[in-house]
Amino acid sequence: MTQLSIFSTQAADVDAAPKPVFCTSHAERISEQLQTRGINFGRWSTKPLLRPGAGQEEILNSYEAEITALHRKENYQTIDVMRVNPDQNQTKTAQLRQQFLHEHRHAEDEVRCFVEGRGLFSLHINEEVIQVLCETNDWITIPAETRHWFDMGATPNYCVIRFFQKSEGWIAKFTQDTIARRYPYLD
């Protein structure tokens, strides 16, 4: 279930597990809370029927109307599909997870639309950590230069459509902050 949890970074005991100051699984409330922080979030109303393990071309064709609408609005240069699942090389998947778990930012917006599975975005904005558990049909736009990390879980199984304004694709600038270690990971 899609969920939003908001934590204060000003917790009295930095050694204790942080507790959220706000939590909801209601899509409209999630969108409202994120919008006040400059983050766009929504759900695509339809979910095309895809064969298991569908490839990039099939997925992009199935979501053509949604992709076209988003592309017209933002003029993305590159649109691709990223799939991570238990059948892939476990060592490479574990390395990828560890890379994503480090706080970083990007020079452009990070736009993800979940086709299958789930993933946990954690956004470090001012004195808050905002965690958004995204699932199938959720889309999120994390503004450029927003400090964040992503957890695909210990046994990742997800597929996302990624939108990039630059043709280079995913380029991260790591902050070297260890804040991600203090907040919950995806089960």
> Hunting for tokens 């958004």 — which residue is that?
132
CB 103 within 8 A of CB 142: no
> Can you say how many angstroms the Cα of residue 179 is from the centroid of all Cα atoms in its chain?
17
Residue 59: predicted pLDDT: 94
CB atoms closer than 10 angstroms to residue 155: 11
Alpha helices (H) along the chain: 27-35, 56-62, 64-74, 90-100
Distances (CA, A) of 42 to 34, 54, 66, 136, 154: 10, 23, 12, 11, 26
What does the alpha-carbon distance between residue 140 and residue 114 come to, in Å, rounded to a whole number?
9
3-182, CATH topology level: Jelly Rolls (2.60.120)
Domain ranges of the chain: 3-182
Backbone angles phi, psi at 123, to 5 degrees: -110, 130
Backbone angles phi, psi at 5, to 5 degrees: -130, 130
What does the alpha-carbon distance between residue 6 and residue 163 come to, in Å, rounded to a whole number?
26
> Can you say how many angstroms the Cα of residue 103 is from the centroid of all Cα atoms in its chain?
13
Distances (CA, A) of 31 to 23, 39, 119, 150, 159: 13, 8, 17, 19, 22
Q: Low-confidence residues of the chain, pLDDT below 50? A: none
Backbone angles phi, psi at 61, to 5 degrees: -65, -40
Residue 74: predicted pLDDT: 83
